[in-house]
Amino acid sequence: MSAENSRKASGSGDDGARGSGGISRRRLIGSAGAAGATGLVLGAAGGATGYAATRPDEPSALTTVGSTRVMFHGKHQAGITTPLQACGHLVAFDLVPGAGRKEAIALMRRWSAAAERLMAGEPATSGAADGPDHDTGIALDAGPSSLTVTFGFGRTFFERTGLTDHRPPGLDPLPPFSSDHIDARRSDGDLWVQIGADDALVAFHALRAVQRQAAPAARVRWQMNGFNRSPGATAQPMTARNLMGQVDGTNNPKPSGNDFGRRVFVPVGTDAKYDWLAGGSYVVVRRIRMLLDDWEKLPVAQQEQVIGRRKKDGAPLSGGTETTAMDLDRAGPDGKLLIPDNAHARISSPEKNSGAAMLRRPFSYHDGISADGTPDAGLLFICWQADPLRGFVPVQRKLDRGDALSPFIRHEASGLFAVPGGAADGEYVGQRLLES
């Protein structure tokens, strides 16, 4: 990174941007931008959430991508309202037998220190270049590249650390859904880490650091890799498309909205046992395979009937542009509803779910070709909410009962994690829980 670019940075926006390590502010990243309204919820939140955290109005030249920095410290953890990144890794860990709170504290200290350095574009450790804890050097030539590292705790983490009394009710297990084909080996976990960046090497560098530093306290339970469109790949910022070719994400709660914080972040409650989660959020993670061979056989007009939106621009079938509100009562000349009764966008819309909404922040994935010749590809569905029993669960229940999209997707893995608020200067993530 050039000397000029090394002086440019942006803050996570959750508690205001502030420079550190000699890097000054360039632009805010942490607040979701103004993007539109849709989307393919794929099992949980479509119209109720679509993804709308976008980049600034002006396109970014590819040569500037590496200089953009997200701050580690703040009211909320980075990676929640941060705009979509081009590369992502999701990884869950289980504490090893015999490990408890003491080992978890040491691990979260290591991970937090490494995340702060990595997000600043520095080596994961400050040790000697040839020492046992040396940095791998994978990202030596890159800047921060919008890297974020986000940490969460699963239900079983509280049992393993003797903190069951501090386990919040929002971590109660998700109910089963009839359309689920869940692989338990790729679900849940004691700890969860989300990594995102705009450069694949920077993202992998962080993944490797997290994995290396997990020892000897924890081992990998499962890991998934995802991607999105790279910044600068379009002439102007646009809502992303998923692997079905649909514009995927316009109806997300906007950070500028009066109820954004209430919907996404956990407030200070009346029970001091859960104060550690104030400013945090719950994340539902679902690996949703898209049956692309079947989907691609449908004519575009039929695909649009399944979704309830035009494929070319994401506009609702009731008319207008991508950001036009759906008119769920509008009928065509034949008297039939323009947005069918079982359309994905209708069933998942806030109007049909008592206003339920969540902040969707997904990655697409492709894990090769299966033995039967079909692509193992789809969506790593990630949604954030203050209460999953009021966000994800009611919407998914409704989708489970009659979504026209259901024959073309399969839910193969699932997880629910409590994500603490951001760490203040001098703190590590989860300190208020682990030292309570």
Predicted local confidence at residue 127, as pLDDT: 65
Report the DSSP pairing between strands 363-369 and 359-360.
unpaired
Which among 165, 172, 421 is positioned nearest to 278, based on CA atoms? 421
Predicted local confidence at residue 3, as pLDDT: 37
pLDDT of 200-255, one tens digit each?
999 999 999 999 999 999 999 999 999 999 988 888 888 889 999 999 877 888 88
Q: Return d(Cα 423, Cα 264) in angstroms, integer.
A: 18
Q: Pick the catalytic residue: 188, 248, 387, 400? A: 248
Amino acid at 432: R
pLDDT of 63-98, one tens digit each?
788 999 999 999 999 999 999 999 999 999 999 999
Question: pLDDT class for 390, splitting at 50, 70, 90?
Answer: very high
Neighbours of 37 (CB within 10 A): 26
pLDDT of 306-365, one tens digit each?
999 999 999 999 999 999 999 999 999 999 999 999 999 999 988 888 778 899 999 999
Inform me whether the pLDDT recorded for 35 exceeds 70. Answer: no
Amino acid at 393: V
Instruction: Please confirm, yes or no, whether 165 is among the known catalytic residues.
Output: no
Look up the pTM and report it: 0.86
